Structure 1
């Protein structure tokens, strides 16, 4: 055999060995993944794109080219769309194959924590925090599950680990305050929250818990002051980008609408709008999401878009009295009263039993000086929902405009029978008692008004000034 021929034979053998090795590696990679691929979840009819993506990812995970990449996509799709058992199987396999990737134990733990499996979630969050020490949500989530499991010393250690990385992190400071309360150490909780609020003055979680602390120490005025400051703002959970990224693969319109609400509370308007528009696109009955979108646009002062959204909602679900009421309020605020009356007429034709629409019509009629039909609409609203106090107050205000003071006071008394702490009724009855010279009754109304945090300070001060002027002394 010539030297050249021997060289060719050698190269051929080496080539075959290389192909065999490459084939073995492909088979080994395939075998490592294929055994940990869950059965394809049963998907609802109509989710065509999701079905295609799940089947493609499943086939890729069971195949020979990039099976781990396909398994990761399958994990995301299952997790994002509520197939948690299948997602857990994917994460378990990915943790075995990629032991240094912090996302897999973190996302696995997120499912377990949601299911209340706190002891199982804790070591996974701990592992994620070890692998990605600068990813603070992993440490915070570890603290949260340990706190819920009443493992307070470990929870405090996790929260302090966050504060070593970021000294003013509000959720870690809130966590330490909660640990202190769990130990019945309210003074330490107060100190933690004072630091939290000093560093993060508008953090609703810290403010709300501080109100509870003030109540514990018998300081109701301070608690009420904080709650008035918080008003209707909602506590928003910490942002967890790894979990948040799953929304990109979500085809569940309800989950997307919830995510939109959370994003809106957080002030992330772009994400809120994006998830709502996607929920509308995916839902077979999107009327409620159009209503939610209209409320979002109203809050962000995009009134033309809000009007279009409410009109879509009422067209798709003409029985939705809330959507009609929101449309009416928007038209009124824009000064389009004929359009508002028209919307009320259409809404009441579809929902003649709607308290909110009868109430709104009564308000418009009263504003236009049409008092008799206004009272009739408010009376109808009372009949439809006798426990809703606003109609009583509106009827009283109409009587006052007509100079029918005693009839108005009768309605205010009826309002208090329904809601004993209603702020407007308390103030009006107190001022009426002062005007009548009934000092003992006036003192009692003022006492009750002082206990009600929703009474405006200026209204209470006006009552006190009138009392002093009438009786020559403060109550």
Structure 2
């Protein structure tokens, strides 16, 4: 028989267990009731894939359960946000912020949607709340500062950028933000100091366009020309990395969005993430030609040629009329030394897409390399006929004709090329050299001036043209 102390202990332990279980049940039922009260209705899913529809339905059911209500709502928020159901995502984030008021992800993601809708004021409030909850999360600070600047609050934006630098002293995006504010205020010395630091930190990945404009304003034409000559302008501001938004891509079923975001990641120097997102795009849409082709191109850049070959080959199977698939497959085979296979692929491509100007241009190059000039000229002309606004075929045909001492025909082709690309460096160089050779000083001076004004021309090439001019005509 058990002693009375043991029985009392068992009764106490059992009572505590019942109390704990009762407390857990009470807490869970309270959360379940909260989620049920704020749970957004499932939107129309007519355009959603079967897998996405199934996941949303399952998450919605979990959000109404006793044991997984909050987890179900959190999953719904990700699925809605990642797949463009923004109104439902906003309602989900609002509910999550009420239930988990100390989780910074909810106001951050909420704000990102509102900012995209142009609702700056509530987005600013939400990012301020995010920073209170997660002061070390730099992307929220940058997004707040950028939105303040966009909202014509330069002083508040400058304060936010400086606060970011207090957390991350070498953050190039924050420094660039200060540079933009200084530039607009015509504080040229401060703008220059900030921009020179940005380009030093990023090797001109950020700040390229603005520092060229600044140097031109300051009369530093040589510096501006040197920068223009080293690379082409990006033409776009690159967003900083944002892991809390990047996490959403694991729940994205839109191959177009996955490919678009992958392209941004690749340009920002994160090929690993870009590859993962493109692989997901293919997984959710196995017949998506664009994702296959984009991934193949990226893998070539990463020197993963075996996978790239397989993907290019898959492109030709998914759409035999997609000429670029044949062209890239043949080109990569040739690059790897598989000339016979490359020729076979090119022939198959021309059979599948006989009106492809790009494939005819590729064929012309191969024929010219094989010293079959007559056949190459015919292929160049076919490429021009099929796509008359593409300058490359004109220029390459002109070079082939010059080699055949048919300069008059070549010059006519170069003039046509310049109609479609007036700043083409190869065409400008040819016209300058030919004007010098012909002894036409006036024309040579005009073409040389165009060469010198074109930053895409290599400095060594421009020097050779100037030297030829000096030999023919003397000092300028």
TM-score under structure 1 length normalisation:
0.91
Q: Would the aligned equivalents of 1:204 and 1:235 in 2 still touch at CA under 8 Å?
A: no
Match of 1:397 among 393, 396, 399: 399
Instruction: Point out where structure 2 has 5 or more consecutive residues left out of the alignment.
Output: 1-8
Cα offset for 1:243?
A: 0.7
Cα offset for 1:101?
A: 1.4
Q: Would the aligned equivalents of 2:398 and 2:411 in 1 still touch at CA under 8 Å?
A: yes
**Does 2:150 correspond to 1:122?**
no
Match of 1:288 in 2: 290
Query: Aligned equivalents of 1:166 and 1:18: distance in 2?
Result: 45
Match of 1:64 in 2: 66
Matches within 5 A, 1:34-73: 34-44=36-46, 47-73=49-75
Match of 1:27 in 2: 29
Match of 1:435 among 437, 460, 466: 437
Greater shift, 290-299 or 200-209, is seen at 200-209
Cα offset for 1:81?
A: 1.6
Match of 2:471 in 1: 469
Pair 1:23–1:301, CA change in 2 (3 A)? closer
Greater shift, 412-421 or 42-51, is seen at 42-51
Match of 2:260 in 1: 258
Query: Aligned equivalents of 1:183 and 1:109: distance in 2?
Result: 28
RMSD, aligned α-carbons: 2.7
Match of 2:149 in 1: 147
Measured against aligned partners, the alpha-carbon deviations of 1:215-272 in whole angstroms (never above 9, x if no partner) come to 4445454334323334476753211111111112222222221232222223323222
Query: Aligned equivalents of 1:15 and 1:436: distance in 2?
Result: 102
SS of residue paired to 1:392: helix
Q: Would the aligned equivalents of 2:32 and 2:65 in 1 still touch at CA under 8 Å?
A: yes
Query: Aligned equivalents of 1:225 and 1:236: distance in 2?
Result: 23
Match of 1:191 in 2: 193
**Does 2:212 correspond to 1:222?**
no
Q: Would the aligned equivalents of 1:259 and 1:272 in 2 still touch at CA under 8 Å?
A: yes
Pair 1:15–1:386, CA change in 2 (3 A)? closer
Match of 1:165 in 2: 167
Query: Aligned equivalents of 1:411 and 1:389: distance in 2?
Result: 9
Q: Would the aligned equivalents of 2:254 and 2:281 in 1 still touch at CA under 8 Å?
A: yes
Query: Aligned equivalents of 1:14 and 1:334: distance in 2?
Result: 73
Pair 1:369–1:109, CA change in 2 (3 A)? same
Instruction: Point out where structure 1 has 5 or more consecutive residues left out of the alignment.
Output: 1-6
Greater shift, 107-116 or 178-187, is seen at 178-187
**Does 2:125 correspond to 1:132?**
no
Pair 1:39–1:401, CA change in 2 (3 A)? same
Matches within 5 A, 1:27-426: 27-44=29-46, 47-198=49-200, 200-231=201-232, 236-426=238-428
Cα offset for 1:64?
A: 1.7
Query: Aligned equivalents of 2:158 and 2:174: distance in 1?
Result: 9
Query: Aligned equivalents of 2:395 and 2:419: distance in 1?
Result: 12
Query: Aligned equivalents of 1:277 and 1:284: distance in 2?
Result: 10
Cα offset for 1:423?
A: 1.2
Query: Aligned equivalents of 2:269 and 2:392: distance in 1?
Result: 31
Cα offset for 1:327?
A: 1.6
Cα offset for 1:413?
A: 2.4
Pair 1:326–1:255, CA change in 2 (3 A)? same
TM-score under structure 2 length normalisation:
0.91
Query: Aligned equivalents of 1:8 and 1:337: distance in 2?
Result: 83
Pair 1:218–1:324, CA change in 2 (3 A)? farther
Match of 2:451 among 441, 449, 452: 449
Pair 1:409–1:33, CA change in 2 (3 A)? same
SS of residue paired to 1:167: coil
Pair 1:472–1:227, CA change in 2 (3 A)? closer
Query: Aligned equivalents of 1:232 and 1:179: distance in 2?
Result: 21
Pair 1:330–1:8, CA change in 2 (3 A)? closer
SS of residue paired to 2:38: coil
Match of 2:5 in 1: none
Query: Aligned equivalents of 2:15 and 2:284: distance in 1?
Result: 56
Cα offset for 1:171?
A: 0.3
